[in-house]
Amino acid sequence: MMKLNKMKLAARVARIKPSPTLAITMKAKALRAEGIDVIGFGAGEPDFDTPSNIKQAAIKAMDEGFTKYTPSGGIDELKDAIINKFQLDNKLTYSRSQIVVSCGAKDTLYNLAQALFEEGDEVIIPSPYWVSYPDIVILAGATPVILETKESDGFKISPEKLERAITKNTRAIVLNSPSNPSGVAYSYDDLEGMAEVVVKKGILVISDDIYEKIVYDDFRFYNIASVGEEMKKLTVVVNGVSKTYAMTGWRIGYAAGPETIISAVTKIQSQNISNPTSISQKAAVEALEGSQDTVFKMVKEFQARRDYIVEKLNNIPGINCMNPQGAFYVFPDVSSLYGMSFNGKKISSSTDLAEYLLDKVDVAVVPGVAFGNDNHIRLSYAMSMENIGEGLRRIGEAVAKLTVS
Ligand SMILES: *Cc1c(COP(=O)(O)O)cnc(C)c1O
């Protein structure tokens, strides 16, 4: 009799990789638990605590017994708060049937991909990209098509470049502005140019706006859907409370878009998550409707840190860092260090450099290759000024020890 391998895993598992950013954050945490004084620039979450008015809303929900299943696509109270947010911030009008709430924006994106894409579909993902986009597309059976951008183009895709990448199989493009990892954000003019191509070709835009509120120097955020009615019909906006309100652990994200797509996502959620956590939904209502003072304070602090980290990085010979407009990451070019060595060991990639920094000076950074660009590394500045200063001092020290071989 043929022996069945009971432990055989589905082929899709081998097609994806574990999230590299989570892996590095965990590795830094593990080293710290061993007593090693690691400076972790890996974190993909604000270092601030969830504001207390938001926590209080969750406590109240629990005390009132709001601890049962909710509708799969979220409670009306939260949908209404989201509708208000879109109206106020983005001048976009949606009805409840065009809104779905999920367990974090990552879950929203996953369910959206499950609802929209299948074998044979292509999804355009500009690089550098957020680590999960390609894998989410692959898990839906579709093919991610990476559209490379260079720092010399400001890490932005042009309308011409987008048009050339579109084939008869293209279903959508994923836009992420401000971007994780580059911090680059698209202006209204950029979006208008892109919208023209999108409407002409009739593809969808999945707009990941998770860093919408974390922008600097009076940068004005726009969503591509606000360019016009035609464009809005082709856009699914994904957003959430994780980054803006320091609520990464609460797991609330949401999408707004055409009713057909939103109801498909809701149907999938009914067989998957059942519903986003009841008490987190109440907390998210307070986040969106309560005082926004903590957001302003957090962004102000992030901006001071950005100014500091960009200046300090550019003072290290061999590192070039552009000034990002948003998010809480910098994505410096470190490629001029490639080819140099320490004790006979050559640095020839972002992974080599990240390993060297961790081994030599206990500094954790994320290699750019994880985001589809091997010439860069990503540093999160979601940490105190003191730690940023100490971390950069160590990086400077490690870089100074490299020799031309
Ligand atoms: C953090 C992040 C997300 C996921 O947010 P959650 O709501 O915590 O799931 C989505 N997109 C980008 C670009 C992110 O950086």
How do the domains of the chain map onto residue ranges?
Answer: 4-49+294-404, 66-289
Give the Å distance between the CA of 107 and the centre of ligand 1. Answer: 9
| Greater model confidence, 178 or 16 | 178
Q: Tens digits of per-residue pLDDT, 165-174?
A: 999 999 999 9
CATH number of 4-49+294-404: 3.90.1150.10
Å from CA of 180 to ligand 1 middle: 9
Position with higher pLDDT, 212 vs 355: 212
Sheet holding 143-148, edge to edge: 99-102, 253-256, 235-240, 204-208, 170-176, 122-127, 143-148
- At residue 23, the pLDDT reads 74
What are 290-326's pLDDT values in tens digits? 999 999 999 999 999 999 999 999 999 999 999 999 9
In this model, does residue 284 exceed pLDDT 70?
Answer: yes
Whether 155 and 182 have beta carbons less than 8 Å apart is answered as yes
Distance between Cα 320 and ligand 1 center (Å): 26
| Ligand 1 center–CA 106 separation, angstroms | 6
The SS3 of residue 266 is: helix
Please check the confidence at residue 3 and state whether its pLDDT lies above 90: no
Q: Distance of alpha carbon 263 from its chain centroid, rounded?
A: 24
Mutate to test the pocket of ligand 1, among 179, 180, 213 (most ligand atoms within 8 A of CB): 180
Maximum alpha-carbon separation in the chain: 71
The stretch 328-338 carries a mean pLDDT of: 98
What percent of the chain has a predicted confidence (pLDDT) above 90? 92
What is the CA(129)–ligand 1 centre distance, in A?
12
**Beta carbons within 10 angstroms of residue 185's beta carbon:** 25
Which atom of ligand 1 lies nearest, measured to the CA of 108?
9
Substitution site in 100, 106, 250 for ligand 1 pocket (most atoms within 8 Å of beta carbon): 106
Q: Name which residue sits closest to atom 5 of ligand 1, judged by CA.
A: 105
Which residue in 147, 159, 183 sits closest to 324, CA to CA? 183
What pLDDT does 20 receive?
Answer: 72
Mean pLDDT of 82-88: 98
Q: How far is the CA of 339 from the centre of ligand 1 (A)?
A: 34
The rounded distance, in Å, linking the Cα atoms of 402 and 341 is: 5
Q: How far is the CA of 186 from the centre of ligand 1 (A)?
A: 18
| Ligand 1 neighbours by CB, cut-off 6 Å | 44, 104-106, 130, 176, 180, 208, 210, 240, 242-243, 248, 253
Contact assessment for residue 210 and residue 238, using Cβ atoms and an 8 Å cutoff: yes
- Mean pLDDT of the region 381-400: 97
Task: Determine the topology of domain 66-289 in CATH.
Answer: Aspartate Aminotransferase; domain 2 (3.40.640)
pLDDT of residue 7: 85
Q: What is the pLDDT of residues 28-69, one digit of tens each?
A: 888 889 999 999 998 889 999 999 999 999 999 999 999 999
Q: Which of 115, 225, 121, 208 is nearest to 166 (CA)?
A: 121
Closest ligand 1 atom number to CA of residue 109: 10
Helix (H, G, I), strand (E, B) or coil at 217: coil
